[in-house]
A and B are shown apart, each in its own frame.
Chain A
Amino acid sequence: MELVLSLAIGVLVASGVWLLLRPRTYQVIVGLALLAHGVNLFIFSMGRLRTGASPILSKEGAVAAGAYADPVPQALVLTAIVISFATTALFLVVLIAARGFTDTDHVDGKESD
């Protein structure tokens, strides 16, 4: 499991980085979104992988903390998901605005020569 997820994170990050370095704004946005997935999974995996141990407590009895997955990275990632959504939206709008303003979708606002 760990190996598969690590490779998955690697692939997501590699694809994201590759796109981040491309010249078209749309590529950069897709790249950031992929990178965000990779980073979110990375942070999430810092709490280790547990199946069937959702941090939803039962209301009775003492809490056996070991029986649940680590909730802290999950809380962090929940925040990260929302923030990466916000940045994607912002970049999309910057893309649209820049495109209307410069008549090109090159990241520099002009075709490279």
Chain B
Amino acid sequence: MVESNLLLILLILPFAGSVVAATSPANLRNAEVWLSAAVSAVGLGILAALRGHVTEGGVVEKTIRWMPSFGLDFALRVDGFAWIFLVLILGIGLLVVIYARYYLSARDPAPRFYASLLAFMGAMTGLVMSGNLILLLIFWELTSLVSFLLIGYWHQNAQGRDGARMSLIVTGAGGLCLLAGLLVIGHVVGSYDLDTVLASGDRLREDPLYLTALILVMLGAFTKSAQVPFHFWLPHAMAAPTPVSAYLHSATMVKAGVFLLLRFAPVLNGTEAWFWVVGGVGMTTLLLGAFFAFFQHDLKGLLAYSTISHLGLITALAGIGTPEALVAATFHIINHAVFKASLFMAAGIIDHETGTRDMRRLGGLRHAMPYTATLAIVASASMAGIPLLNGFLSKEMFFAETIEAHDNSAFDQAMPWIALVASALAVAYSLRFIVSVFFGPTTTDCPRKPHEPPHWMRFPIEILVAICLLVGILPGATIAPYLRTAVVALLGDATPDYSLALWHGVNAPFVMSVIALVAGCLIYALLARHVAAAPEGPPVIRRLEGQRIFERMLLALSWRWMRALHRLLGTERLQVQLRILVLMAAGAATATFLRDPPTWAPLSLANFDPLFALVWLVGAACAIGAAWQAKYHRFAALVMLGGAGTVTCVTFAWFSAPDLSVTQLLVEIVTTVLLLLGLRWLPKRNQAIRDDVEFRARARRFADLIVAVFCGAGIAMISYTVMSAPLDREIATYFLEHAYSLGGGTNVVNVILVDFRGFDTFGEITVLGIVGLTVFALLRRFRPARESDDIPEQQRIQRDYEVTAEHRRPGETLRDYMFVPSVIMRWMFPATIMIAAYLFLRGHDLPGGGFAAGVALAIGFLLQYLGADARWVEDRLRILPIRWIGFGLLIAAATGLGSWMFGFPFLTAHARYLEVPLVGKVPFATALIFDFGVFTLVVGATVLVLIAIAHQSLRSKRDRPPEEEPDPDLAGPEAEVEEEDGWRGGSA
């Protein structure tokens, strides 16, 4: 139990540390280092405590049920194999933290670095600990994301950004393939639980989807582990700070891919497809990586290609897939992590202390930094596979595996030869690394004078090199038990007998090692000078850069093809889009009717009322008139729109919907006034627009007319059919029967809104509030068009007349012509408030309610703005509509939450009658409080919109440069009146 909780701590610790690191101030650099080191050290301590539980196939598990219905558990699982990975992740993480302390300069932001590093550590920890495929994928993607941040840590330089983006795209795309692959596996096995999947190897291999799953999972692993042809991102990721490269490309990121390979090897391998795909890719990568590495001039570039090559070696071993090969692969993962981390760190020191990483400019550094030189030489020797070092041991095992016959194909026959060539190249590039940097004439043209780094910067390398030596000389006493733990966890009963001894006698692998060593030295001796003189990159195929192909593809995919597709299919024109939308809607409806024709009701004039028909004759005329006139006669169209609205309102009243009628009437008033206010800002009528006379425009309008008539006729048919059909009133009956007994109100519509379906109403008023705020934000940002700034023509004529006329003073008419209405409007204000209160209070029992009352009160405010200038009103009446909105929402939400206190679900209403002295029995329902929230919000939102539009004319003058100010004669308050919209806007 304790140990399973330790797993949780192990996972949470780095993430918690990351949050702390990210939020601490930038000047606490040492504190960040201590924090990160402590996180890794505690993690290592936990691992030490878990050690006893994972030997001999033991597994520590911790499962938290997450979404069991989807087979998704938060399952953590550490066996010996995961354990050894965790040691690498946290151990090398600790060393990298120490190293980075000295590597990063004081200018580099420490919080971001350590926060990303810890987050990455956490993601890797989670990845290897996942006991569920989906969880594993989540952490897998997390490593891609965080590595993006780490590689692009120096985002000020373009290389860092490009490298980060490239690695994210490649590994992210691989992650998607992996997701698909894991889903296929989960589908075949019937579970996403790792233990179940690991036990279902036979079922998987026999399934017809096996190959699909294999390819998809492999795409994930290959992209992550930089296998050919996806290897190109890794050298570009070298733009990262060296501690990041040392961490990501030795022990963690790229090892995630081979971790996955080995994890699934016992389940997926044993088939020809596995051998050819994984083995083939691995061998190719091994060879090409080593070949490319030899031709690099950049130290880190050489190490990057060497990493690719070694990952290819591990992949090839996984592809061979025998238990012995998997042992060798696991062993080489450990060894490679150790020597490659130390080499990256050494390269970083060289870069740090000399200012360059170009091997052609470096030389003779053994004099200036003898310790670092010694350490680097030992580590490179391990990379080359020299005896007495750890790299030698796993390489011998690899040789032994390649010699074994597998399927006797040409590829199988070629394997030892490929291994031999790659190994010779490894010797050659290791030699090049050592000789060109530490030997030869002492460098003179370095940006900095080389010297030894601070001791603690070298310390991590010392540790790692010591491990190289210890494991290399005394494998049995050092690494053997740990390796056994890992291998037993991986292979179980299939664990082979293997020997880690240094000396197995003169056998084939040893002979191969010797040949490789000699051949490598020869290659170096023959080619070194030639390579140093040539441009960077391998000969012949130098121009065939993965990066360039990648960028071409990216450009084509994300830009050229998309542009072409956009040109072909897209449009920026709203009319076209709306036409498509309308046609799709009409088409969908038509298709439904064609497939499943309804029984059309016979036309009948049952209960025909000539008065109603007459009302709608007017209504239809208004609608058509509005449609006809909206272009050039906006005001007329607005009046007719109002007419159609009023007829709608009458219809509601006619057919027993008084609530709708009241609300519609009030909303109609507000809408009309709003549109009137808006008319001021529209451009003048322009009949010269070519559109109207051209044949194409006419044709388009004719087509639109057909579409419109079709839609109208269709909806008329549907409504007639539905209206003539009988109705199942089950829901209606429920609401009617329970409105009073449960909701305490006799106005059923209102009870439905504020009680039965209160949550819908809550959502709706939220929308209304958002609209109010959006309007406010939009109009703060934008200014009216310039041509609307001038005073309207009518006012100008009036002004000119007043200037010349003897008995008139300028501005007089404009000031006074609305005098009587404005007084009336002012006096109407208290009455409007009364009406609103009346509508609100009767709402629960009679037509009215929060919406209607809110709009009514908003009309009260609106009248004040209409009757006088905005300044005048605001000097006397302080309206804070945003607060009204806020309070309204708060009241409604609080009423809803209040029901929680009594143990009921959100927005459960309560109704009762209260005995009030003198007045008597008064109905009281919590729904009324909710309705009050609705009321407040509706007032706020409506008034906010009105004020925002009204203020347009204030700001249009205020924010212009002074020379555009209108005539000072007219600049007094109330000097400006709109003929068209009857609204007075003041001006500065």
| Chain A contact residues, CB within 8 Å of chain B | 1-24, 26-27, 29-31, 33-34, 37-38, 40-42, 44-59, 63, 65-66, 68-72, 74-75, 77-79, 81-83, 85-90, 92-97, 99-101, 103-105, 107-108, 111-112
Contacts and interface: CB of A to CB of B under 8 A. Distances in A.
A100 B638 CA distance: 21
A91 to B, nearest CB: 10
B705 A18 contact: yes
Contacts of A77: 652, 657, 660
Contacts of B752: 71-72, 75
Interface string B681-723: 1110000010100000000000011011101110111111011
Given A6-B723, A47-B732, A82-B663, A63 B785 contact: no
Contacts of A42: 715, 718-719
B344 interface: no
A18 B657 CA distance: 29
Contacts of A34: 623, 626-627, 641, 644
Interface string B864-892: 00000000000000000000000000000
B548 interface: no
A1 B612 contact: yes
B707 A17 contact: yes
A23 B575 contact: yes
A6 B601 CA distance: 12
A96 B682 CA distance: 7
A9 to B, nearest CB: 5
Given A26-B630, A70-B727, A96-B779, A55 B575 contact: no
Contact of B574 (A48, A63, A107): A107
A51 B675 CA distance: 33
Interface in B781-800: 781-788
B771 interface: yes
B768 A22 contact: no
Contacts of A29: 675
Contact of A7 (B616, B782, B949): B616
Given A10-B715, A78-B659, A93 B620 contact: no
Contact of B573 (A7, A74, A112): A112
Nearest to A97: B782
Contacts of B654: 51
Contacts of A103: 785-787
Contacts of B691: 23, 112
Interface in B607-627: 607-609, 612-613, 616, 619-620, 623-624, 626-627
Given A24-B630, A51-B656, A78-B749, A56 B846 contact: yes
Contact of A107 (B575, B605, B670, B679): B575
A49 to B, nearest CB: 5
25 contacts: A4-B612, A6-B717, A6-B723, A7-B620, A8-B647, A8-B651, A11-B624, A11-B712, A21-B704, A26-B630, A30-B627, A41-B651, A42-B718, A44-B655, A56-B846, A57-B748, A65-B732, A68-B732, A71-B752, A77-B652, A79-B753, A79-B764, A82-B667, A93-B949, A105-B683
Contacts of A56: 658, 746-748, 845-847
Nearest to B771: A86
Contacts of A59: 740, 746
Given A11-B620, A13-B711, A79-B764, A101 B782 contact: yes
A4 B616 contact: yes
B851 A82 contact: yes
A8 B605 CA distance: 15
A53 B712 contact: no
A11 B623 contact: yes
B840 to A, nearest CB: 15
A18 B748 contact: no
Given A30-B641, A96-B949, A97-B779, 12 more contacts: A3-B720, A15-B623, A18-B708, A26-B682, A57-B736, A57-B747, A57-B748, A71-B736, A71-B739, A90-B774, A90-B775, A99-B784
Given A71-B748, A79-B761, A8 B619 contact: yes
Given A59-B746, A65-B736, A81-B667, A97 B778 contact: yes
Given A1-B612, A3-B605, A27 B631 contact: yes
A8 B616 contact: yes
B736 A63 contact: yes
A52 B653 CA distance: 9
B771 A50 contact: no
A13 B719 CA distance: 12
Interface residues of B, number: 119
A100 to B, nearest CB: 5
A17 B712 contact: yes
Contacts of A68: 656, 732, 736, 748
Contacts of A9: 715-716, 719
Given A50-B655, A82-B764, A17 B782 contact: no
A69 B740 CA distance: 16
Among A9, A23, A74, chain B packs the most CB atoms within 10 A around the CB of: A74
B749 A55 contact: yes
Nearest to B609: A1
The 10 closest A-B pairs by CB, nearest first: A14-B712, A10-B716, A18-B708, A6-B720, A15-B627, A97-B782, A69-B656, A55-B748, A71-B748, A65-B733
A63 B270 CA distance: 76
B172 to A, nearest CB: 36
A90 B767 CA distance: 11
Given A24-B631, A65-B729, A51 B760 contact: no
Among A15, A16, A37, A41, chain B packs the most CB atoms within 10 A around the CB of: A15
A14 B948 CA distance: 32
A24 B641 CA distance: 16
Interface string B821-855: 00000000000000000000000011100010000
Contact of B952 (A6, A11, A85, A96): A96
Contacts of B674: 88-89, 92
Given A92-B678, A107-B574, A18 B704 contact: yes
A77 to B, nearest CB: 6
A59 B785 CA distance: 58
Contact of A41 (B648, B746, B847): B648
A69 B656 CA distance: 7
A93 B779 contact: yes
Contacts of B761: 79
Given A13-B711, A93-B949, A52 B604 contact: no
Among B630, B779, B949, chain A packs the most CB atoms within 10 A around the CB of: B630
Contact of B648 (A30, A40, A53, A85): A40
Contacts of B607: 1
Contact of A45 (B647, B722, B941): B722
B812 interface: no
Contact of B753 (A14, A78, A87): A78
A69 B582 contact: no
B667 A85 contact: yes
A31 B630 contact: yes
